[in-house]
Amino acid sequence: MNEWNTATELPWLWAGMASYALATFIVIRGVVLTRGGAAGAAVNRGYETPAFIFILAGVALLAMALAERWIRIGHGPFVNLFELLMSQLFSLGVIYSFAYWRYPAIRASAVVALPLMWILGVWVLMLEPSATAFPPTYYNNWLWAHVGLGKFFLGFCLVGTGLAGALLLRGVPRLEPWFRQLPSDAMVDHLAWRFMLLAFIFHSAMLIAGAVWAQDAWGRYWSWDALETSSFLTWLALGGAIHARLTYRLPMRAGAIFIIVVFIIAFLTYFGTPFYSSAAHKGVI
Amino acid sequence: MNAVLSPFASLRLTLVGMVLLAIGAAMSYGNPETTSVWVLVVPMAFLAINLLAAIITNPRINRRGGLLTFHIALLGVVILAAIGRLTHLEAHVELVQDTAFSADELFDDSRGPWHASDLDKLVFVQGPYTVDYAPGMVRGLTHSEVRVPDGQGGWERRVVGDDRPLVLEGYRFYTSFNKGFAPLLTWMPEQGEPQTGVVHMPAYPLFEFKQDNTWKPPGGPEIKFWLRLETGMTEKAAWILDGQKAKGTLVVNSGAERVELQPGETVNLPGGQLRYERLSTWMGYKIFYDPTLQWLFVTAVFGVLGMSVHFWRKFGARMPAAAAADTLKAGNYSATSKGRAI
């Protein structure tokens, strides 16, 4: 069924994405304008507040889009890819804007983090906003805990990956002036891993909440279905990366690559699973 | 003792174990029959030994309360999951309305070697059920009524379904999508006592067009049954499957004879008479038993709390100040410093 004409959430979604696009443009332009200043010279920070305002506006507009869709189809954004992407864009915006506001030192890394969100942004704009029936097993409160904790995980992962990406880009001589606003490499590395450790905590909690939900919903807490296997591999990858960093005292750029690999695995878990499994969670319908 | 255990506590071994576990997990995707459970058991046992040795010998773990709690909890989860697999039971059962649960009727039964079955102690009686359907035949909530002893000689009515299992003695009964109709029949042989029983028809509405089954009465010929149902089912609108309101005409085929019966009607067949008493229903349940469930949950939550405490003590208060201070030094960064332990 073609729902392009009846999906009242679309204008809000498009406005939200436009706001994110403006924030991305402002950040990139602001960071690039830093170029040319000598090391230690005053850096351009004038872009930070406008970028923050547009990220917040995007979050607010996406909240409206989610609310509009919720009212239209009668259930939350938990089932099909369109609404999952929309919901992730909202939650990533919330978490990233909080980190952006709370830790001014990391703001230049938005030049990496915001374009990453655009992978979801472009994707959601290409999907039909169709409504999907709400499975009976989704009326469980643990679903909220599971999904909510997962959003925190991915949000902190995004912040860590933004920092890791900035750390790597800063190693390219031509791009090095873009990131003068960031603290030292050691501090960027430190902050990136702190966010990844936070992500690890929330991922662990997400797995617990998911297991409780799965037990209620399908009568088993773990069954190695597509999402369970993939999310366990993500947990192992992140745990392994943390241990590798401790064991081998990884150089910062190697650590940054580890963080990006974990983010890729997490991204595939969240958004790639539907492409290799017809039912992400067994018994979902 | 530490000298003996230290080699087993190596973080490098942890990484090896994690890689092996990741391979085992990937091989276990979808529970393929060709993959042995050992691809998970071996790396988990390996990691458990490594973890235990690390907890005992590694001061970076055992002198930090939060980190210690996390690692002990992780070990606890592995041990409890193993105990759970050894003591678990998973099975299915189909219960006809107004009949009591019987452990003899389980099928697809899988149980751990240490499972001490208390199934014979379980008492409940299946009642009627309803299932909501959205337009397009999309299944919604299931409301299955059961009666359990109230402890005072009576019965307590409970409604279960989907994510609300019936829990008795630790056994959890989950309704499944598998449910259907069952005509209640009485066979009255020319000689001997009448017998009353049901014929399970295939799941409904999944096999709406195949509501048939056969039965061979004692001393009689094989009878083919076909059930023509009126349930109000429609694909275009929402509807409720309610066995109490459904009507069913039973088509009986025996040899060349074909008779349509309404509830209460009787047909003469070679060897006796068959009476179609009424239309009944059956509900399919998945049974799950694992005595470690609550402990697993509590242990895992403690693990996350431990890690959170560790994070907070190590970074919580210092993070903004350190970052802010460093911001002032923007531009004075070094590309050579090594990563720090977190």
Chain B segment 68-87 residues within 8 A of A by beta carbon are: none
Please tell me the predicted confidence (pLDDT) of residue B333: 34
Interface test with B, best of A34, A35, A215 (most B CBs within 10 A): A215
Mean pLDDT of chain B: 89
Please tell me the predicted confidence (pLDDT) of residue B301: 98
Please tell me the predicted confidence (pLDDT) of residue B289: 97
Q: Is B34 on the interface with A (CB under 8 A)?
A: no
pLDDT tens per residue, range B108-145:
999 999 999 889 999 999 999 999 999 888 899 999 99
Report the Cα–Cα distance between both ends of chain A, in Å, rounded: 19
Mean pLDDT value of segment B103-111: 93
Confidence at B7, pLDDT banded by 50, 70, 90: confident
Distance CA B107, CA B93 (A): 6
Distance from CA of B306 to the nearest CA of A (A): 10
* Cβ distance of B297 and A212 shorter than 8 Å: yes
User: Which residues in chain A touch residue B11, judged by CB atoms under 8 angstroms apart?
Assistant: 243, 246-247
* Cβ distance of A182 and B21 shorter than 8 Å: no
φ, ψ of residue B195 in degrees (nearest 5): -125, 135
* Cβ distance of B342 and A193 shorter than 8 Å: yes
Contacts of B269 by beta carbon, 8 Å cutoff, 6+ apart: B217, B220, B221, B223, B252, B254, B257
Q: Is A204 on the interface with B (CB under 8 A)?
A: yes
Interface test with B, best of A34, A48, A194, A225 (most B CBs within 10 A): A194
Residue ranges with strand state E in B231-328:
239-242, 247-254, 257-261, 266-269, 272-289
Chain A segment 57-116 residues within 8 A of B by beta carbon are: 102-106
Q: Is B118 on the interface with A (CB under 8 A)?
A: no
> Would you say residue B238 has pLDDT above 50?
yes
- Of residues B223 and B315, more confidence is placed in B223
ipTM: 0.90
For residue B285, what is the nearest residue in chain A, using CA coordinates?
A219
Distance from CA of A94 to the nearest CA of B (A): 19
User: Which residues in chain B touch residue A105, judged by CB atoms under 8 angstroms apart?
Assistant: 323-324, 326-327, 330
Please tell me the predicted confidence (pLDDT) of residue B340: 41
> Would you say residue B268 has pLDDT above 80?
yes
Q: How many CB atoms lie within 10 A of CB B90?
A: 17
Contacts of B24 by beta carbon, 8 Å cutoff, 6+ apart: B39, B40, B42, B43
* Cβ distance of B342 and A102 shorter than 8 Å: no
Mean pLDDT value of segment B214-219: 86
Residues paired with residue B171 on neighbouring β-strands, in sequence order: B168, B289
pTM beyond 0.80: yes
Q: Is A173 on the interface with B (CB under 8 A)?
A: no
Residues paired with residue B224 on neighbouring β-strands, in sequence order: B214, B253
Percent of chain B with pLDDT over 70: 92
Distance CA B334, CA B321 (A): 20
Residue ranges with strand state E in A37-184:
none
* Cβ distance of A136 and B307 shorter than 8 Å: no
Cα B152 to Cα B99, B146, B149, B155: the distances in Å are 20, 17, 8, 8
Please tell me the predicted confidence (pLDDT) of residue B5: 85
Identify which of A187, A191, A223 has the shortest CB distance to residue B31: A223
Q: How many CB atoms lie within 10 A of CB B332?
A: 12
pLDDT in tens, chain A (285 residues): 567 778 899 999 999 999 999 999 999 999 888 655 555 555 677 899 999 999 999 999 999 999 999 999 999 999 888 999 999 999 999 999 999 999 998 999 999 999 999 999 999 999 999 888 888 888 899 999 999 999 999 999 999 999 999 999 999 998 888 888 899 999 999 999 999 999 999 999 999 999 999 999 999 999 888 889 999 999 999 999 999 998 888 899 999 999 999 999 999 998 887 666 655 565 443
Distance CA A30, CA A109 (A): 12
Residue type, B262: Q
Identify which of B140, B172, B341 has the shortest CB distance to residue A246: B341
